[in-house]
Amino acid sequence: MFLKIIQRCWGRATAFGLTVRTRLLCNSSGSLSYIDHRGGLKISWRDIKLGASVRISRNPRLEAISRWGNQYFAPSITIKDQTTIEQNVHISICGEFEIGQGCVISSAVFVTDLDHVVQSGISVQNTQIVHKKTTIGNCVFIGSGAKILAGARIGNNCIIGANAVVLGGVYPDGAILVGVPARVLQKTEVIGSASIPGNPNEKPDPAAADLSDLA
């Protein structure tokens, strides 16, 4: 019992610390939102806007590129309410990028809104980059290891299979995308609008529970 009390107190302290740090460092952060920065390779804090109850797990790389060589950009990363991002996710953007509400992004997913301009005889690191508008709609599920490449516009209620590579293009609401390159396998039957449904089978997030206690 005593050990459980200590673990509970430690969990609350950790959750509180993550929430406070996130709120202080991000451009804006809604209630009960946090970025678990532990192990993070790079986090462009001032270019990140979080809605309420956003959870980002360990080892994130969230990079907003404002300068590349002699090119300048005005990037921003907006993640809306009740979106969960698992560990080891890499987001690399140079424009205005948005993830809708109620999304789940599984581990080791890569998302970008930029491409390199390949030139013969020039190192990729020395080439220019081009921005291609990329968005993720509401209530989207992205499986582990998937890649969302520049120019992909993913509609609401889409499902993206594990390890899929989604090329630039417009994908309709409810599309199920699988494969390399990803193709629309079928469309889901969506009941109601793309709101935030409760999930009776969802396992509770211990950190979220601690945050709720602190609210």
Q: What is the DSSP string of 73-125?
A: ---EEEE-TT-EE-TT-EEEESSEEEE-TT-EE-TT-EEESEEE---TTS-GG
CA-CA distance, 95 to 119, in Å (whole number)? Answer: 23
User: What is the model's pLDDT at position 212?
Assistant: 45
CA-CA distance, 34 to 48, in Å (whole number)? Answer: 11
**Tally of CB atoms within 10 A around 76:** 17
Q: 97 and 77 in contact (C-beta within 8 Å)?
A: yes
Q: 51 and 81 in contact (C-beta within 8 Å)?
A: yes
Q: Which of these, 190, 161, 163, lies nearest to 176 by C-alpha position? A: 161
**Tally of CB atoms within 10 A around 102:** 23
Q: Is residue 111 part of a domain?
A: yes
Domain range spanning residue 36?
A: 2-188
Q: Is residue 101 part of a domain?
A: yes
Chain Cα centroid distance, residue 185: 23
User: What is the model's pLDDT at position 22?
Assistant: 80
Beta bridge partners of 147: 110, 165
Q: Is residue 16 part of a domain?
A: yes
The structural domain count of the chain equals 1
Q: Is residue 212 part of a domain?
A: no
Q: 90 and 98 in contact (C-beta within 8 Å)?
A: no
Is residue 29 exposed (0-12), middle (13-18) or buried (19+ Cβ within 10 Å)? buried
Angle at 39 between CA 103 and CA 58, to 5 degrees: 25
Q: Is residue 205 part of a domain?
A: no
CA-CA distance, 85 to 41, in Å (whole number)? Answer: 16
Q: Is residue 210 part of a domain?
A: no
Q: Is residue 25 part of a domain?
A: yes
CA-CA distance, 142 to 152, in Å (whole number)? Answer: 13
Q: Which residue has the tokens 């509970």?
A: 8
Contacts of 135 (CB under 8 A, 6+ apart): 97, 98, 100, 153, 154
User: What is the model's pLDDT at position 26?
Assistant: 78
- Output the tens digit of pLDDT for each of the chain's 215 residues: 655 555 565 455 566 677 877 877 778 888 888 888 776 667 888 899 999 999 999 889 999 999 998 899 999 999 999 999 999 999 999 999 999 999 999 999 999 999 988 878 888 778 889 999 999 999 999 999 999 999 999 999 999 999 999 999 999 999 999 999 999 987 776 665 544 444 444 444 544 444 444 44
Q: Which of these, 97, 106, 17, lies nearest to 62 by C-alpha position? A: 97
The CATH number covering residue 161 comes to: 2.160.10.10
Q: Is residue 23 part of a domain?
A: yes
User: What is the model's pLDDT at position 83?
Assistant: 96
